[in-house]
Chain A
């Protein structure tokens, strides 16, 4: 007891208490703010209270974040979150990443951005008619988000997970011996070394700002359903939708850049559920932004606009559920671990779906029935065990009600859009975006479908995604290229066709010149079918067409004015992203072709087993058009770097040094050994390498290199091969001095000689004659040493029953040179992708500025 009392006296309990007080305050203030904003819709007297409560909520959220940062900076390791996500040995420049490594911190980051955006929006909305409903929704979302870090028990149910728990309070750790002895600092787990990367400092805040910005179009759309004012909000929400497209898009690609740099799956995009579930809200948000423009200019697509604006936020929630509930299980490589908040996340997603559907219904009796039935179903699901069936019934019913209320209550356009009108083509583009996001969502949700229907489908692999998404990308690119040349309402078809002919012809000629050699002549990659190749060529053409057509439109029709060209520039950027992704992925070259000639035939192209190369220290091997030498390894902290030099042969057949790469293997205490790639960047290609197998031990003690290493036993027949590190040893034949009969008669001596043929890498042949001798029933094997190769061979056993012999082989230690197994790829023109990303961000930024300017002019 006394020991405990002393130890615990050093605990800085005030920090946790302060932090938790801020959490409770933020939660209560969010509830108060939500309620009073709601009441303000009936009596504006509540408005002051509502705004104040929201400010208090925001202040409390800043307080939580500030306290947590303070604790991380000052190493309060008695707290579980600090203990788990940081330690004293790490570089403090990555301390930001510790903040959002855990689930609680990333929820906090999201809440934080919602507060910031909520404040900006509140200042912007001078009109109370919009402020009240929009802020009610934002405050309601904040109630849910704040509950995620509440960590309060309601009966037996734990609501949220509190980041301010002491180690000794945490159920997973409180019983462990080092916690009982309060040895926190020396045991602190620290940040996952894979996240110690500058991308991880900026990718999560950008992504979460993107997630947060989907809240605003959502809040406006819900407010519009609530007020039944369907048309006034689009111009207010449009800059925010663009902002979300910009920030979320950049955030997603930053994640790709991190994966390309720090993970070793060999690329920037793997269709991992975590990636997909942030891509889908982005696609839907892009579609929403486009239908909002249609709606503003022409008045159509009203219902679609609402559905998309709401959908992108609901999909962000769904993505949160997918990545944080543990439902993905084996399907993802980097989902969060389950914190037991699955139920809460499901309730969160369903609540906002429920609100949407309930607001769609205009008839009071119908609405009340829906609300009551939904609540009853929820109660029944909680009490009885039919939650899956009830959930499916509810989802189905809600879907039907959505369609019915659209037909019954929603204002519809009288006239049909003309075939050659910009709004119709933009609408088609949005549909293509919706359809591709539905397909990606469906594939990503396969683990959820398995849970719902008790099926056992495995998640689809990368080629399946590519095959399904590319046709939509082709359509999207085509629409993106052509739609700008159409006018709203109606365009003269002839003029339109004439106008769009030139960029199309240029793109066609250029892509024929490129694609025929790229995909139809020099294609030796058997992983692609003819259909794949045709779709690659089509995407190449349409993406190029989209670049040229948008450039044409911007330069000739908009006269190159930057302020007007936001859309065109963003479109060029997006087309370049797809073009770069297409070329770098479809023309990815495996440099490290396996030198072994043991091809697996008959197993199909899935079993392409030539991706790795074995490099022995000091040897120079050809690899693609390079010659490579593995020169050695060094250890730095937990990383072991393997240095590989690259040479090119010049005209005089001499090898010239070009560059060195140092792929490393991290002995990561959190997740075991993780290879990290190293890449040589050229303007037109990247050479990307990572080590897949290596000995990480770096010896400093000098060994007697003349000594023989441990012997390896080999069982076989005449004709078999034994593999040494520098040669192959073939059992050529066996010779006996005497016959069996003589042996039995003499009872003295049997001598069997194995004739071994040793062939080294330069095809020099050496022979060795180890002998198996039995003298008066005692076995005396006579070893043979091949000095040139440093091999010792001992023929020590004959198994007459099995009909085979046993030979051991040992090698001089000087033979056993270090080696690595490496994969190396060339990604051609991957810089087009990153350039496209920058251009897209720039174009979106211009578009936001222009929309803000128009908004100011109006008011």
Chain B
């Protein structure tokens, strides 16, 4: 067997390995219901801020803790504990993506992505 063939086999093995391992560990987009069923897995949950529920951010107590309520795309509402400072323009967000897992009654997120409407053209949201 030629060296090139051995290398080729190694490459294929690594490539398959990457796909397998990464797909097994990667987080997926989901809704709250799925996150509740698998409390220890990390998920990306897409939803909207519930503006009728209180948002608590008390930086004097803990600048890295912000709680609010989010309604996911299926209409399920959960309390969210974000372990970060309150994002700028949070109230204006029209879509939220949370990255985190379910712990007890609340969804604990370590990161957040927001989509904000552009000021001039509501038809085309711009990614913040």
Contact = CB atoms under 8 A, between A and B. Distances in A.
Interface of A: 172, 187, 189, 330, 332-335, 337, 416-417, 419, 424, 428, 431, 435, 438-439, 442-443, 446, 455-458, 460-461, 464, 468, 594, 596, 598, 600, 602-603, 606-614, 665, 669-675, 692-693, 723, 725, 819, 821, 823
A337 B124 contact: yes
Contacts of A458: 26-29, 43-44, 99
A-B interface, 9 closest residue pairs, ranked by CB to CB distance from nearest: A673-B88, A672-B89, A596-B62, A612-B63, A458-B44, A692-B85, A609-B83, A609-B64, A456-B29
B33 interface: no
Nearest to B45: A458
Nearest to A599: B62
14 contacts: A187-B120, A438-B15, A439-B15, A442-B18, A458-B27, A458-B44, A468-B18, A607-B100, A607-B108, A612-B85, A673-B88, A692-B85, A693-B63, A821-B59
B127 A456 contact: no
A703 to B, nearest CB: 21
Contact of B18 (A439, A672, A673, A819): A439
A371 B20 CA distance: 35
Contacts of B62: 594, 596, 598, 609
Interface in B94-128: 97, 99-101, 103, 108, 110, 113, 115-116, 118-121, 123-124, 126-128
A455 B86 CA distance: 31
B83 A600 contact: yes
Given A608-B83, A821-B63, 16 more contacts: A189-B120, A417-B3, A438-B15, A442-B18, A458-B29, A460-B26, A464-B22, A464-B25, A468-B18, A600-B108, A603-B83, A606-B100, A612-B64, A675-B88, A692-B84, A723-B58
Contact of A672 (B58, B121, B128): B128
A172 B124 contact: yes
A725 B60 contact: yes
Interface of B: 2-4, 7, 11, 14-15, 18-19, 22-23, 25-30, 42-44, 46, 57-65, 83-89, 92, 97, 99-101, 103, 108, 110, 113, 115-116, 118-121, 123-124, 126-128
A613 B63 contact: yes
B15 A435 contact: yes
Contacts of B126: 337, 670-671
A674 B92 CA distance: 13
Nearest to A595: B63
A577 B8 CA distance: 29
A428 B11 CA distance: 11
A264 to B, nearest CB: 10
Contacts of B86: 693
Interface centre among A419, A439, A693 (most CB of B within 10 A): A693
Contacts of B101: 603
Contacts of B65: 596, 598, 609
B25 to A, nearest CB: 8
Contact of A416 (B3, B60, B120, B128): B3
B63 A424 contact: no
A596 B127 contact: no
B11 A435 contact: yes
B22 A460 contact: yes
Given A600-B83, A606-B42, A674 B88 contact: yes
Contacts of A333: 113, 127-128
A439 B3 CA distance: 23
Most chain A Cβ neighbours within 10 Å, of B62, B63, B101 = B63
A618 to B, nearest CB: 15
Nearest to B40: A604
Contacts of A457: 23, 26-29
Given A672-B88, A672-B89, A594 B28 contact: no
A419 B3 contact: yes
B108 A723 contact: no
A723 B60 contact: yes
Given A172-B124, A416-B3, A606 B110 contact: yes
Contacts of A456: 28-30
Contacts of A442: 18-19, 22
Contact of B119 (A606, A669, A673, A675): A669
Nearest to A592: B63
A335 B119 contact: no
Contacts of A417: 3
A692 B64 CA distance: 10
B88 A607 contact: no
Nearest to B29: A456
A671 B85 contact: no
A598 B61 contact: yes
Contacts of A608: 83, 110
Nearest to A304: B4
B30 to A, nearest CB: 7
Nearest to B42: A606
Contacts of A460: 22, 26
Most chain B beta-carbon contacts within 10 A, residue among A189, A431, A458, A819 = A458
Contacts of A692: 63, 84-85, 87-88
Contacts of B108: 600, 603, 607
B114 to A, nearest CB: 9
A493 to B, nearest CB: 15
Residue of A424, A460, A673, A675 with highest tally of chain B CB at under 10 A: A673
B78 to A, nearest CB: 16
B60 A614 contact: yes
A81 to B, nearest CB: 15
Contacts of A598: 61-62, 65
A765 B30 CA distance: 50
A670 B59 contact: no
A431 B7 contact: yes
Nearest to A596: B62
Contact of B127 (A172, A335, A602, A819): A335
Contacts of B57: 693
Nearest to B66: A693
Contact of B3 (A424, A607, A614): A424
Given A443-B22, A609-B65, A435 B128 contact: no
A669 B4 CA distance: 57
A423 to B, nearest CB: 12
B88 A611 contact: no
Nearest to B46: A330
A187 to B, nearest CB: 8
